[in-house]
Amino acid sequence: MATFVLIHGGGGSSWDWHLLSPELAGRGHDVVVPELPIEDRAAGFAEFRDTVVSAVGDRSDLVIVGHSYGAFTAPLVADRLPVRLIVLLTPMIPKPGESPADWWGNTGHRSAEEFSAEQLFHNGVPTEIVAEAAAHSRDQVSAEWNEPWPLAAWPDAPTRVLIAREDRFFPLDFQRRVAADRLGVAPDEIDGGHAVALSRPKQLADQLIEYLPR
């Protein structure tokens, strides 16, 4: 049994994982779904990391999954706790000393202006789930936006990058380039859009479990 630690993205919440969590639990694994303190103006990277570490408690055999902006926090947890694996899901992959505010320009990201926010983030998500999403989004006013990412190097832990083939927010070619530039890896791919945990939770659970060493 592994413990999957699911870290939500920017403006998100534990609700973002509410379809994936039972899929993993139903396959016999433990699941931890922390709420990052994004509504706290005093909270920065240290507080994000400590929130996750506290939620993990004394659990072991950890698989840290960071979705989108959660990829800034996932390696901070892996730097503090022994982990089995880091999985970066449709991620913002940071580099040492880089602030989230600078990530966009540094990576050359360009927004697809022809799409609405819903079309960017929730393409492929069932209509009834999209209708619930707004009630679970949160204002991200925390202090990490302009903080340099604090690690001097990537943690010494196996890392997989998983990107979504229909992601309109971070398109395939963009994510492949960033993963190669920053981690020297070729990402794996899964069907779905940016919010793949809401559009294809069963397939995502299968892929995450497939990553576990035999």
Q: What is the pLDDT along the chain (214 residues), one digit of tens a residue?
A: 999 999 999 999 999 999 999 999 999 999 999 999 999 999 999 999 999 999 999 999 999 999 999 999 999 999 999 999 999 999 999 999 999 999 999 999 988 888 887 888 899 999 999 999 989 999 999 999 999 999 999 999 999 999 999 999 999 999 999 999 999 999 999 999 999 999 999 999 999 999 997 6
**Is the CB of residue 73 less than 8 Å from the CB of residue 50?**
no
Phi, psi of 30 (to 5 degrees): -85, 150
Name the residue ranges covered by the structural domains of the chain: 3-210
Distance between CA atoms of residues 27 and 121, nearest Å: 27
- Phi/psi for 133 (5° steps) reads -60, -40
What pLDDT, on the 0 to 100 scale, is given for residue 120? 83
- Residues forming a β-bridge with 64: 5, 86
Per-residue pLDDT, 114? 80
pLDDT at 111: 82
Q: Which of 155, 130, 15 is nearest to 71 (CA)?
A: 155
Confidence (pLDDT) at 172? 96
pLDDT of res. 213: 74
**Class for domain 3-210, per CATH?**
alpha beta
Per-residue model confidence (pLDDT) at position 214: 66
pTM, entire model: 0.96
